[in-house]
Amino acid sequence: MDRRSFLKSAAVLSTASTLPPLAPAVLAAEGEPARVRKYNVLGKTGLKMSDISFGAGKLPSASMILRAVDRGINYFDTAPDYGQSEKLIGEALSRHKGRDKMYLASKFCRAVPYQDGISHLYPGATKAEYIASVEESLKRMNTDYLDVVFVHALGEKPEYEAQKQRLTDPEMLAAVADLKKAGKVRALAVSSHGAHNMETLALDAVQTGHYDILMLAFNFLTFPKVPEVLKAAHAKGVGIIAMKTLAGAKDSGVKPEGATPFPHAAFKWVLQHPEVSGLVVTIKTTDELDLYLQASGQAFAAADQRALDHYAALFGSDYCRTGCGTCQSACPAGVEIGAILRHHMYFADYGDEKRAMQEYAGLERNAAVCETCADNDACNAACPYGLTVGEKLRAAHRTLSWDAPVAKG
Ligand code: SF4
Ligand code: SF4
C-alpha cells in the first residue's frame, strides 16, 4: 500500500469479523509448506491480519521475513530495541518490494536501554522524542509509514498510577496526532505482558478512547480477567492481538497419543476467542514457521485440549501466570515477584539472556533479599498454582545478577 492509498483507507469496522481467507481454507497438501489460512479484521483499524503473525524479536535474517510473506503472514511486530530486527526488515523491504503485503508494527522506544534498563519512552519524553522514535524506526525499516505504533509493556513497573499516566501522556498523544496527520502512523496501540496490573491497565486503555489496538499476554493457563477486557475492547471496536500464547514455551515436543502438537493447541485455544484477531509469536527458524502455520484457520478440538492438559500437568506448577500478582502482597519486602520470574523465563526458556539481565538490573526491588528471607518464604503459600516461589526467586537472582554467584545445575 502506498502513502496515498493508506491515507484514503478510512474503513472503520466495528467488529473483528473474519474475511474470506486469501489462501485455500484447507490444510496444505502433503509436501507443500504450511501457510496462513485465515485473516481477521483488527477492530476499527480495518487491518486484516493473519491469525498467526510474526514476532520479530529474534529475527535471524531478512530472508526469514520474505519467507513469512510468501506463506501469507502479513503482520510483523518489531521494536527499536529488538536487536537488528528493524534493520533486517528494512533489508527485506529493499530486496523485495513487498511493503503492500505487510503491516508493520513498532514501539515508542529507544534502540538502547535507557536509565534503569528500560528502553521504552515514558512521560517526561517530549513530543519531539516520540516523533523521533518513529522517524528512526522508519529509517531503519526503509519505509515511510508504520501501520501501528505501540505504547509498549504497560505494567512493567509496579506503580499503578505512573503506568496509567503513560496512556494519556499529552506529549505522546500530540506526537501521535501529528504522525497520523502526516501519514506516518496508522493506528495507536498499547501492549502489556504484566507483570503488574495488566488487566486493569488494559481496561483503562480502552476507556481512554485513544487506542485502536490492545496486545495482551493471553494463554490457556489462567487469565481470569482477560475475557472482561476482551469484551470491553470489542464493544469499542478496539482490536485484540494475543502474545505469550505458548505459556512459557517449555514444550519438549513429547505429546500424549492422540494429542495435537502443543503449539497448535495453544494457538487454537487463544484464537477460538472471537474478539482475538490474531496472535504474534516469535519465529526464528523455518521449522518454527512451518510448525506454527499449520495451526492457522483451524478450530480448537478435543485433541488440542489433551495437549493442553498434558502441558499443564508437566509445567503448570512451574509457570508464573503473566499479570497474576496474587502472591505479591505476601512479601513484606515488596520483591517484584512476577517481573523477576518473567525475566527468568526470558533467560531460561526464550534464550534472551542479555536483555533479561539488563532488565533485572533495572528493578527497584530484586530478589537479593530472598537469599536470606526473613519471612520464611511466605510467598510460597500465597501462590494458588503451587509454585515454589521463594526457591525460584533465589535461582532467578543467581542467574540474572551480574555479580551473584552462578546458579548450580
Ligand atoms: S522469599 Fe521471602 S523475601 Fe523473597 S519474595 Fe518470598 S517472602 Fe519475599
Ligand atoms: S508466583 Fe504464583 S501467585 Fe505469584 S504471580 Fe506467579 S502465578 Fe501468581
Residue showing cell 512479601: 331
Q: Quick check: 15 pLDDT over 50? A: no
Same domain, 89 and 193: yes
Q: Which atom of ligand 1 is nearest to the CA of 373?
A: 2
Structural domain harbouring 339? 328-400
> Which amino acid would we find at residue 169?
D
Residue 319 lies in a domain: no
3-state secondary structure of 231: helix
Q: What is the pLDDT of residue 19?
A: 33
Residue located nearest, by CA, to atom 2 of ligand 2:
383
Residue 194 lies in a domain: yes
* Final residue in a domain of this structure, among 258, 284, 312: 312
Q: Quick check: 2 pLDDT over 70? A: no
Residue 321 lies in a domain: no
Same domain, 100 and 170: yes
Same domain, 370 and 234: no
CB distance 28 to ligand 1 below 6 Å? no
Residue 407 lies in a domain: no
- Indicate the top mutation candidate among 327, 342, 377 to test ligand 2's pocket, ranked by most ligand atoms within 8 A of CB: 327
| The dihedral formed by the CA atoms of 346, 352, 355 and 361, expressed in degrees to the nearest 10 | 50
* Final residue in a domain of this structure, among 279, 312, 345: 312
CB distance 375 to ligand 1 below 6 Å? yes
Q: How many domains does the chain have?
A: 2
CB distance 328 to ligand 1 below 6 Å? no
CATH number of residue 104's parent domain: 3.20.20.100
What rounded mean pLDDT belongs to the chain? 87
Same domain, 257 and 338: no
Distance (angstroms) between ligand 2 centre and the Cα of 131 equals 37
CB neighbours (10 Å) of residue 289? 22
Q: Quick check: 255 pLDDT over 80? A: no
- Region 243-251: what's the mean pLDDT? 84
Asked if the bond preceding 195 is cis, omega within 30° of 0, the reply is yes
CB distance 389 to ligand 2 below 6 Å? yes
Same domain, 357 and 387: yes
Q: Which atom of ligand 2 is nearest to the CA of 321?
A: 7
Cell of 191: 501492549
Q: Quick check: 409 pLDDT over 70? A: no
Q: Quick check: 228 pLDDT over 70? A: yes
Distance (angstroms) between ligand 1 centre and the Cα of 394 equals 9
Same domain, 308 and 356: no
Q: What is the pLDDT of residue 53?
A: 98
Given a contact cutoff of 8 angstroms between Cβ atoms, the answer to whether 320 and 341 are in contact is yes
Taking Cα atoms as reference points, which of 221, 209, 297, 288 lies closest to residue 253?
288
Confidence of residue 354 (pLDDT cuts 50, 70, 90): confident
CB distance 303 to ligand 1 below 6 Å? no
82-91, 140-149, 182-191, 374-383: the lowest-pLDDT one: 374-383
Same domain, 286 and 184: yes
CB distance 337 to ligand 2 below 6 Å? yes
Taking Cα atoms as reference points, which of 267, 203, 260 lies closest to residue 234?
203
CB distance 327 to ligand 1 below 6 Å? no
Confidence of residue 28 (pLDDT cuts 50, 70, 90): low
Q: What is the pLDDT of residue 254?
A: 67
Same domain, 172 and 244: yes
Question: 151 pairs with which residues across the strands?
Answer: 190
Same domain, 219 and 279: yes
Same domain, 89 and 28: yes
Residue 298 lies in a domain: yes
Same domain, 129 and 240: yes
What distance in Å separates the CA atoms of residue 334 and residue 408, rounded to the nearest whole number? 26
Taking Cα atoms as reference points, which of 26, 69, 27 lies closest to residue 50?
69
Same domain, 249 and 286: yes
More confident residue, 346 or 191: 191
Q: What is the pLDDT of residue 1?
A: 41
Cell of 397: 537472582
Distance (angstroms) between ligand 2 centre and the Cα of 218 equals 15
CA 140 to chain centre: 21
Residue 255 lies in a domain: yes
CB distance 326 to ligand 2 below 6 Å? yes
CB distance 382 to ligand 1 below 6 Å? no
Residue 113 lies in a domain: yes
* Final residue in a domain of this structure, among 312, 346, 367: 312
Q: Which atom of ligand 1 is nearest to the CA of 332?
A: 8
Residue 262 lies in a domain: yes
Q: What's the Cα-to-Cα distance from 77 to each of 86, 105, 146, 151, 246, rounded to whole Å? A: 10, 5, 11, 13, 17
Distance (angstroms) between ligand 1 centre and the Cα of 351 equals 26
Question: 292 pairs with which residues across the strands?
Answer: none
Cell of 198: 495488566
